[in-house]
Structure formats: structure tokens, C-alpha cells
Amino acid sequence: MVADVSSTGLSGIDFCMQLPETKGVAAIPLAAFTDNPEPWKCKVRFAFCKRPEVIREAVCRLTAAS
């Protein structure tokens, strides 16, 4: 999931540096993935890493809901 953190007044890098300490959550600044970081300076990426069986269950639930 990608989030725009510009409303915090922080760059994505600064936001991600303080997030683990302040909220116990980690994110990655999208600027780290590109050679043109300016357009991505306030965007961060959250990953939801789960066990395969949890992902399968989520897929089943989402499929049933559609």
C-alpha cells in the first residue's frame, strides 16, 4: 500500500525514520526505489507480509465478496 505523507510536513524519508519509534510500524520511502526521487518524496510504501495460509484465506474472502 502506498500513502502520501505530505500532510505530516515530513519527507517520506523523515517519516519512515521516525515511524518505528513513534508507532511501532515500518514503512519504506518510495524515493529509495527510483533515480528520480523528487516526484516520490512524500510517498511511502507499507508491506503486509503474512504467512501463505493467511494470504490464501484473504484471497478466498475477497473472492467470495465480489
**Digit-coded pLDDT (tens) for 8-19:** 999 999 999 998
Count up the domains in the chain and report the number: 1
Residues 5 and 3: their CA atoms lie apart, in Å, by 6
User: Per DSSP, what are the bridge partners of residue 34?
Assistant: none
The CATH number of whichever domain residue 27 belongs to comes to: 3.90.1150.10
Domain of residue 48, residue span: 2-65
Whether residue 26 is predicted with pLDDT greater than 70 in this model: the reply is yes
DSSP string, 6-32: GGGTS-HHHHHHHHHHHHS---EEGGG
**What's the pLDDT band for 62 if we cut at 50, 70, 90?**
low
